[in-house]
Chains A and B, each alone.
Chain A
């Protein structure tokens, strides 16, 4: 049988990143083919090449045996390739039918729309899918699950023989997932080939025929889902048997608890999360994208509302409703997006270091004591080894690592002794990473409580005294740090769905 799709030797570079390295993939008619890999493995990029959103730098794509060039979404549609993006690409202000046929509206003369035909066509597709959605409903009034169905209907409306789904169940509950799977099975029976990108192991086993695993932009292997143990797939994803990292875990039995969180809840994003961090401890937070780690940090910091949960700082319940309350309680949050939320890039080092503590450097009239600011900035430049020509240098001209140090200085100056680092080394080169790690370790040794959220498992393993793992808004486990914990252990918890957690507890 001729494969529907055969991609070989696909290469793709982005500035500073080699996103795909001779990647390959094939898809048979009537097959559900799962594509798996860690964050940044290149799954979505590869599928964006197939759907014409990215142009590959090298390699060949064949559709039904014919070599093709897919130079845009329209070309992909013409080849019968439909994609359902991870982030729903719908127009909220338009109706369901209008969304499905955007760009291909049934027309009458003079560009007039045939709205009746439009709605009838949409109804026909929903009938085929066996779901009931009003084609005239405005998309913004639908639940996420139903919006997902609209996306699928849109893809089907192209008579797609090839359907790409990028994490389609990320926002669905179990019943909705079941309905989606029923639709996928229906499509399969009609000979449609489905590419299914997901992180969820149990779903892969339930719905897919084969699994292709990618790592670092390259092809690792393809296996049959039914007969391959999950452990094998995980170790293929993780790849390298990690060189054992040496973590000095201090004895903290006598150390007082700095921060304790109980029963933290926020809608479906954070579900009953509880943990504690001691003074001098580094608690790592691992999980896949969308597991809810950043959301937990933001909820603790008062940046997002909470439905419930207690936050206890140094043994006393703290009322934290806004970031200001959190800072007053001694909690600092170092956002994953330094440039947006952490720094004023156009201002100099001195101004950034003093930014959150200006009250301390000003007199009753609000006039700043520049001499004192300068002295403080210079102290931190020396203490944290910030490489800058002077304290007057504009922050945007410094490297990522040095920018991160300035954010750290800002929070230290504010007397924060609980520091939450969200992806502290994103966009920072390898040498500077090691320096940030040493700095974090030194802060912990100095008695600060540190939470570090990272999507890079080696980073979590290298830094953490304990490792909290999240999946779908739940804390699925806390593992000890050090060489006893392997990446596979973390991955298992990070892909453990709710049902599995309950089984484990039973």
Chain B
């Protein structure tokens, strides 16, 4: 038996880990910078505000990460979030049903819409960009129609605002009143991280983004799995809808457009490849935190809001460029 010359030891792929490290280092650098620049920045109330601001975008970014790892894109996460919030309003306020029905309803509506997007992509072979662009507009329109373009308030459902603004942790540890919205984000991040790395669904997520044809030729029902992934992403959008509606104590039907771009930005900053096949929830959370810290820090430093948007744009380009450089170095 001959052996291959110099069996190359499996070189740990630097790629994903390095990008995550880079993102994490940037986050720390931003925190240090703003702490030095402004004494108000590092206060507990401000830190909690940053986390609170991350919760909605973070949850949406988790949904977007799943789809992007399969090599797709989901532009409908923002308006789907709003649609789910409006449906929760219909169930709780208009129909007067108890709270659990509203929660389950919102998540179920998200899953159904995700299933539709997934079917458009997998079965009807519509490019994900177009399919979810269509869904984005349809859902925005439906939200306005169903709500009669007016906000639906949750005043009749007393527990509803607790979903986001209450603090389960605070009741046990009063000194750390972390809002439930933030708790939900981190628990969800752990769960989806587990799903991605330890379950069949997660495995096919990466496999589809890596080489869909190869997966199909291996006898896997790729269409069904792809639909399942979009459905999971949709149900996560439902959770985001509950968080934002709870925080505003109302379903705002005009909200939602633009959230998808923030979510995708967080995913990209976190090192998930838009080409599919690689990415992580940890990276996405760090990406969402970077965006929130940046916006908050600039605001604390009294930088005009217009400039905050410009800086965010610059950060996205810089993050992707850093990724390209690393990739080119890895290739050569």
Interface positions of A (Cβ within 8 A of B):
53, 72-74, 77, 85, 89-94, 98, 102-103, 105, 107, 110-113, 115, 130-134, 136-138, 140-143, 145-146, 154, 175-176, 178-179, 182
B205 to chain A, nearest CB (A): 10
A423 to B206 CA separation, bound complex (whole angstroms): 38
| A-contact bits for B60-96, CB 8 A (1 contact / 0 none) | 0000000000000000000000000000000000000
B306 to chain A, nearest CB (A): 35
In the complex with contacts A90-B214, A91-B210, A107-B3 CB distance below 8 A: no
Contact check, B219 vs A74: say whether CB atoms are below 8 A apart: yes
Chain B residue contacts of A103, Cβ below 8 A: 215, 218-220
Contact check, B198 vs A131: say whether CB atoms are below 8 A apart: no
A186 to B215 CA separation, bound complex (whole angstroms): 28
Interface pairs (20), CB distance under 8 Å: A73-B216, A85-B217, A89-B214, A90-B214, A91-B207, A91-B210, A91-B211, A91-B277, A93-B206, A98-B203, A102-B215, A102-B218, A112-B200, A113-B198, A113-B199, A113-B203, A115-B198, A132-B3, A179-B3, A179-B4
Residues of B in contact with A, size category: 20 to 34
A121 to chain B, nearest CB (A): 15
A53 to B216 CA separation, bound complex (whole angstroms): 10
Residue B11 lies at the interface, judged by CB distance under 8 Å to chain A = yes
Contact check, B220 vs A176: say whether CB atoms are below 8 A apart: no
A112 to B11 CA separation, bound complex (whole angstroms): 27
Residue B213 lies at the interface, judged by CB distance under 8 Å to chain A = yes
Contact check, B219 vs A113: say whether CB atoms are below 8 A apart: no
Closest to A118 in B: B203
Closest to B212 in A: A91
Chain B residue contacts of A111, Cβ below 8 A: 199-201
Contact check, B200 vs A105: say whether CB atoms are below 8 A apart: yes
B4 to chain A, nearest CB (A): 6
Chain A residue contacts of B200, Cβ below 8 A: 105, 107, 111-113
A73 to B213 CA separation, bound complex (whole angstroms): 12
Residue B209 lies at the interface, judged by CB distance under 8 Å to chain A = yes
Contact check, B1 vs A130: say whether CB atoms are below 8 A apart: yes
A192 to B23 CA separation, bound complex (whole angstroms): 51
B11 to chain A, nearest CB (A): 5
Q: Which of A73, A89, A112, A138 contacts B198 (CB 8 A)?
A: A112
Known: A73-B217, A179-B4. 20 other contacts (CB 8 A): A74-B219, A90-B211, A91-B215, A91-B277, A93-B278, A94-B210, A98-B203, A98-B207, A103-B215, A113-B200, A115-B198, A132-B3, A132-B7, A133-B7, A138-B10, A140-B13, A146-B4, A175-B2, A179-B2, A182-B1
A94 to B199 CA separation, bound complex (whole angstroms): 14
A134 to B9 CA separation, bound complex (whole angstroms): 8
Which 10 pairs between the two chains have the least Cβ-Cβ distance? A137-B10, A74-B219, A91-B210, A89-B214, A93-B277, A103-B220, A93-B210, A134-B10, A73-B219, A103-B218
Residue B174 lies at the interface, judged by CB distance under 8 Å to chain A = no
A385 to B199 CA separation, bound complex (whole angstroms): 63
A80 to chain B, nearest CB (A): 13
A145 to B6 CA separation, bound complex (whole angstroms): 12
Chain A residue contacts of B3, Cβ below 8 A: 131-132, 179
Residue B43 lies at the interface, judged by CB distance under 8 Å to chain A = no
A140 to B13 CA separation, bound complex (whole angstroms): 9
Chain B residue contacts of A90, Cβ below 8 A: 211, 214
A38 to B331 CA separation, bound complex (whole angstroms): 35
Chain B residue contacts of A72, Cβ below 8 A: 219
Residue B158 lies at the interface, judged by CB distance under 8 Å to chain A = no
Contact check, A112 vs B206: say whether CB atoms are below 8 A apart: no
B126 to chain A, nearest CB (A): 22
Chain B residue contacts of A182, Cβ below 8 A: 1-2
Contact check, A92 vs B11: say whether CB atoms are below 8 A apart: no
Chain A residue contacts of B206, Cβ below 8 A: 91, 93-94
Question: Which of B3-31 touch A at CB < 8 Å?
Answer: 3-5, 7-11, 13
A380 to chain B, nearest CB (A): 38
Chain B residue contacts of A94, Cβ below 8 A: 203, 206-207, 210
B185 to chain A, nearest CB (A): 23
Closest to B194 in A: A112
Q: Which of B10, B211, B277 contacts A141 (CB 8 A)?
A: B10
Chain A residue contacts of B4, Cβ below 8 A: 131, 143, 145-146, 175-176, 179
Chain B residue contacts of A112, Cβ below 8 A: 198-200
Q: Which of A85, A131, A141 contacts B13 (CB 8 A)?
A: A141
Q: Which of A92, A105, A131, A138 contacts B203 (CB 8 A)?
A: A105
Chain B residue contacts of A179, Cβ below 8 A: 2-4
Q: Which of B5, B11, B214 contacts A91 (CB 8 A)?
A: B214
A98 to B1 CA separation, bound complex (whole angstroms): 26
A53 to B219 CA separation, bound complex (whole angstroms): 10
A98 to B215 CA separation, bound complex (whole angstroms): 11
Chain A residue contacts of B201, Cβ below 8 A: 111
Chain B residue contacts of A132, Cβ below 8 A: 3, 7
In the complex with contacts A74-B219, A94-B206, A175-B5 CB distance below 8 A: yes
A134 to B214 CA separation, bound complex (whole angstroms): 21
* Residue of B4, B201, B215 ringed by the most chain A CB atoms within 10 A: B4
A168 to B48 CA separation, bound complex (whole angstroms): 59
A306 to chain B, nearest CB (A): 16
Q: Which of A92, A134, A145, A146 contacts B211 (CB 8 A)?
A: A92
A53 to B211 CA separation, bound complex (whole angstroms): 17
* Residue of A103, A111, A175 ringed by the most chain B CB atoms within 10 A: A103
A29 to chain B, nearest CB (A): 23
A77 to B5 CA separation, bound complex (whole angstroms): 32
Chain B residue contacts of A110, Cβ below 8 A: 199
Chain A residue contacts of B277, Cβ below 8 A: 91-93
A272 to B79 CA separation, bound complex (whole angstroms): 59
A141 to B206 CA separation, bound complex (whole angstroms): 17
Chain A residue contacts of B5, Cβ below 8 A: 175
Chain A residue contacts of B213, Cβ below 8 A: 89
Contact check, A93 vs B8: say whether CB atoms are below 8 A apart: no
Closest to A95 in B: B10
Chain A residue contacts of B220, Cβ below 8 A: 102-103
Chain A residue contacts of B2, Cβ below 8 A: 175, 178-179, 182
A209 to B198 CA separation, bound complex (whole angstroms): 45
Chain A residue contacts of B207, Cβ below 8 A: 91, 94, 98, 102
A85 to B209 CA separation, bound complex (whole angstroms): 20
A92 to B214 CA separation, bound complex (whole angstroms): 10
Chain A residue contacts of B211, Cβ below 8 A: 89-92
* Residue of A74, A102, A115, A140 ringed by the most chain B CB atoms within 10 A: A102
B300 to chain A, nearest CB (A): 40
A46 to B258 CA separation, bound complex (whole angstroms): 51
A188 to chain B, nearest CB (A): 15
Q: Which of B1, B198, B210, B217 contacts A92 (CB 8 A)?
A: B210
Closest to B11 in A: A141
Chain B residue contacts of A142, Cβ below 8 A: 8, 10
Chain A residue contacts of B7, Cβ below 8 A: 132-133, 146
